Amino acid sequence: MGVLPFFLFSGMFLIAPAIILAYRSLEGPDGTLTLDNYRALTSDTVVAAYSMSVRISLTTAVLGGVIGFFLAWAVSMGGLPGPFRSGLTTFSGVASNFAGVPLAAAFIFTLGRVGVVTALFELIGVDLYGSGFTIYSYWGLSLIYLFFQIPLMVLVMLPALDGLKRDWREAAENLGATPGQYWRRVALPVLLPSILGTMILLFGNAFGAHATAYALTGGLLPLATLLIGQQISGDVLNNPGLGYAVAMGMVFIMALSIFLYSVLQRRSERWLG
Sites of contact with other proteins (CB under 8 A): 10, 13-14, 17-18, 20-21, 24, 31, 44-45, 48-49, 51-52, 108, 112-114, 128-134, 136-140, 142-143, 201, 204, 208, 210, 216-222, 225, 228-230, 232-237, 240, 243-244, 247, 250-251, 254, 258, 261-262, 265-266, 269
**Min separation Cβ 4 and other proteins, Å:** 16
Give the Cα separation of 60 and 70 in Å (integer).
15
Q: Give the nearer residue to other proteins in terms of CB position, either 44 or 167.
A: 44
Nearer to other proteins, 86 or 262 (CB): 262
Q: Which residues on neighbouring strands pair with residue 27, listed in sequence order? A: 33
Q: State the nearest-atom distance from the C-beta of 83 to other proteins, in Å.
A: 28
Q: Measuring CA to CA, how many Å separate 94 from each of 57, 90, 91?
A: 21, 7, 5
Which residues are CB-neighbours of 121 under 8 A, at least 6 positions away? 127, 128
Q: Alpha carbon of 168 to those of 72, 77, 164, 171, 185: distances in Å?
A: 19, 14, 8, 5, 11
Which of 205, 188, 191 is closest to 150 using CA atoms? Answer: 205
CA distances from 147 to 66, 97, 100, 225 (A): 14, 10, 11, 19
CB nearer to other proteins: pick between 75 and 272: 272
Q: Which positions ≥6 away from 26 have C-beta within 8 Å? A: 33, 34, 35, 37, 241
Q: CB–CB of 240/247 below 8 Å?
A: no
* C-beta of 64 vs 112, nearer to other proteins: 112
Shortest separation between residue 148's beta carbon and other proteins, angstroms: 13
* Shortest separation between residue 173's beta carbon and other proteins, angstroms: 31
Q: Which is nearer to other proteins, 104 or 187 (CB)?
A: 104
| Minimum distance of other proteins from residue 100's CB (angstroms) | 12
Whole-angstrom distance, CA of residue 196 vs CA of residue 38: 31
Residue type, 206: A
Which residue number, 60 or 76, has a Cβ lying nearer to other proteins? 60
Shortest Å distance, C-beta 6 to other proteins? 9
Q: In 10 A of CB 198, how many CB atoms?
A: 28
Nearer to other proteins, 14 or 188 (CB): 14
Secondary structure E strands in the chain: none
CB of 186 vs other proteins, minimal distance in Å: 23
Shortest Cβ 187–other proteins spacing (Å): 21
**CB closer to other proteins, 173 vs 269:** 269
Q: How far is Cα 214 from Cα 225, in angstroms, rounded to an integer? A: 9
